[in-house]
């Protein structure tokens, strides 16, 4: 395939919500001839003023560029837009930055291949104002050749651009894994803020200490990851039994202060299972064995 990134690759962006507008704007700032399409044409006005060309239809939009970036509400919307195009997609690289599941990504890749299109699935770990900056983390998965062909153009969207592998589902899987981490951190902070709030301590006072605690846990991750990959969990600092005792303190404090105790009670339920499975003397990384089980699985 010709290396379009030897010059400024023409790009089409389909879907002009807040994120789609940010994507198109980043391509324009990087010098890429940019065609845009959205069902509501008014959303393209600012981009057109910046130099984008508004296509009259999805078919016209796709025909305009070898690289087509889609960012819409969900995969159903992706299919409604792309399926009628059929052979128009032949020979083009379609990059789907719509949030979804790994199964949806793989199914869409199969369909795109039948149309003669090369498909990359992607995940954006950033808010719209960060697009085009060093703060934007964007993940891609699918054929390496397609990523290499358009890597320069795709890096216009964010300096932290990462190719994960040939499996189209990897971007979605990484996306939800990070989302789960985010919610866990936020919920832990909210639990702590509620506890301290019951004693008259405001959340702003707690936040700096919480940030230090999160940083300490972040420093543990590389070591825990190595134990998980090795399948061995030596307790180098504290055991799961020790963590279990601290969880009981958190539950008792929550109940005593009239604060919701469901989150720490859930932590303890998982930890009880790990102890029952013989991991009480292991490091906390051994809890991975509980997360690997289906919901409601036995110890």
* Predicted local confidence at residue 227, as pLDDT: 98
Grade residue 295 by pLDDT with cuts at 50, 70 and 90. Answer: confident
Output the pTM of the full model: 0.90
pLDDT single digits (tens) 227-237: 999 999 999 98
Q: What is the pLDDT of residue 7?
A: 72
Per-residue pLDDT for 34 more than 90? yes
Give the separation between CA 97 and CA 69, rounded to whole angstroms. 7
- Are 82 and 94 spatial neighbours (Cβ–Cβ below 8 Å)? yes
**Mean per-residue pLDDT for 29-38?**
97
How far is it, in rounded angstroms, from Cα 164 to Cα 170?
7
| Interval 66-89: pLDDT, tens | 999 999 999 999 999 999 998 999
Q: What is the pLDDT of residue 297?
A: 57
Mean pLDDT of the region 30-56: 97
pLDDT at 4: 46
* pLDDT given for residue 112 in this prediction: 96
Yes or no: say if 22 and 129 are a contact pair by the CB < 8 Å rule: yes
Q: What is the mean pLDDT of the chain?
A: 95
Q: Cβ(157)–Cβ(26) under 8 Å?
A: yes
Q: How far apart are CA 112 and CA 115, in angstroms?
A: 5
Report pLDDT digits (tens) over 152-193.
999 999 999 999 999 999 999 999 999 999 999 999 999 999
φ/ψ (deg, to 5) at 38: -150, 145
- Residues 108-167 have pLDDT tens digits of 999 999 999 999 999 999 999 999 999 999 999 999 999 999 999 999 999 999 999 999
> Does an H or E element contain 188, and which?
helix 170-197
Give the count of alpha carbons within 13 A of 227, CB side only: 18
pLDDT at 251 over 70: yes
């Amino acid at each position: 395939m010709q290396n379009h990134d030897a010059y400024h690759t023409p790009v089409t962006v389909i879907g002009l919500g807040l994120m789609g507008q940010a994507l198109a704007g980043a391509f324009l700032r990087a010098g890429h001839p940019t065609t845009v399409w959205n069902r509501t044409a008014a959303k393209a006005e600012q981009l057109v003023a910046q130099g984008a060309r508004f296509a009259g239809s999805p078919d016209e939009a796709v025909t305009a560029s070898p690289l087509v970036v889609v960012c819409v509400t969900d995969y159903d919307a992706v299919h409604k837009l792309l399926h009628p195009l059929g052979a128009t997609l032949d020979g083009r690289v379609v990059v789907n930055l719509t949030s979804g599941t790994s199964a949806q990504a793989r199914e869409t890749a199969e369909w795109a291949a039948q149309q003669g299109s090369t498909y990359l699935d992607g995940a954006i770990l950033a808010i719209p104002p960060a697009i085009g900056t060093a703060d934007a983390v964007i993940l891609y998965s699918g054929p390496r050749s397609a990523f290499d062909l358009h890597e320069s153009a795709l890096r216009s969207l964010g300096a932290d651009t990462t190719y994960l592998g040939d499996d189209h589902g990897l971007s979605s899987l990484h996306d939800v894994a990070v989302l789960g981490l985010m919610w866990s951190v936020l919920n832990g902070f909210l639990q702590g803020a509620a506890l301290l709030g019951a004693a008259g301590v405001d959340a702003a006072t707690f936040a700096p200490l919480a940030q230090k605690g999160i940083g300490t846990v972040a420093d543990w991750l590389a070591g825990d990851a190595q134990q998980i990959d090795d399948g061995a969990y030596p307790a180098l600092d504290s055991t799961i039994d020790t963590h279990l005792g601290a969880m009981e303190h958190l539950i008792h404090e929550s109940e005593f202060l009239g604060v919701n105790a469901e989150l720490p009670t859930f932590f303890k339920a998982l930890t009880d299972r790990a102890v029952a499975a013989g991991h009480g003397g292991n490091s906390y990384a051994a809890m991975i064995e509980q997360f690997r089980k289906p919901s409601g699985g036995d110890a």
